[in-house]
Amino acid sequence: MKKSHILIIVVIAAAIAIIVTTAGDASTYVTFDQAYDLSSAGNKKDIHVVGQLKKDTGGRVIGIAEGMDRVSFSFLMIDDNGKEQKVEYNQPMPPDFTRSEKVVVIGSYDGETFRASKILLKCPSKYQEQNVNV
């Protein structure tokens, strides 16, 4: 066997190993119910939940509470299945949080509350913004 063949085999093996571990380490998008089941079953691995902030009929975000230390906060989120859940976040509110049309929380259940370790926001395209500060 030539050296170049051995090299090719090694490279392919490495590439496959990378793909397999990437797939293995990848997290998944779940609903709050599924996340709760996972957590009850003892699986404390962080997962992604997609949803929206709870809003009143006027479209205003409700349920945001600032933590005592001012660098944490909690909020109410409704996942794609319509389940409402209180989410706690150990950091200040991210920029544009209340303007987001979609929120992704990454974390896991701690008892009855969902503790987020990271929050990602999907913000409306800037062309949908319709407020001018006069």
Name the residues that contact another protein, by CB under 8 A: 2-4, 7, 11, 14-15, 18-19, 21-23, 25-30, 45-48, 50, 67-71, 73, 90, 92-98, 100, 102, 104, 106, 117-118, 120-123, 125-127, 129-134
Nearer Cβ to another protein (46/78)? 46
Classify residue 48 as exposed, middle or buried by CB count within 10 Å of its CB (0-12, 13-18, 19+): middle
Rounded to whole angstroms, the Cα distance separating 44 from 20 reads 22
We find the least distance from the C-beta atom of residue 106 to another protein, in angstroms, to be: 5
We find the least distance from the C-beta atom of residue 122 to another protein, in angstroms, to be: 5
User: Could you identify the residue written with the tokens 């793909």?
Assistant: 19
We find the least distance from the C-beta atom of residue 87 to another protein, in angstroms, to be: 15
Per the CB < 8 A criterion, the answer to whether 103 and 116 are in contact is no
We find the least distance from the C-beta atom of residue 40 to another protein, in angstroms, to be: 19
Rounded to whole angstroms, the Cα distance separating 3 from 105 reads 48
Nearer Cβ to another protein (28/84)? 28
Q: What is the dihedral of CA 93, 103, 115, 55, to 10 degrees?
A: 80
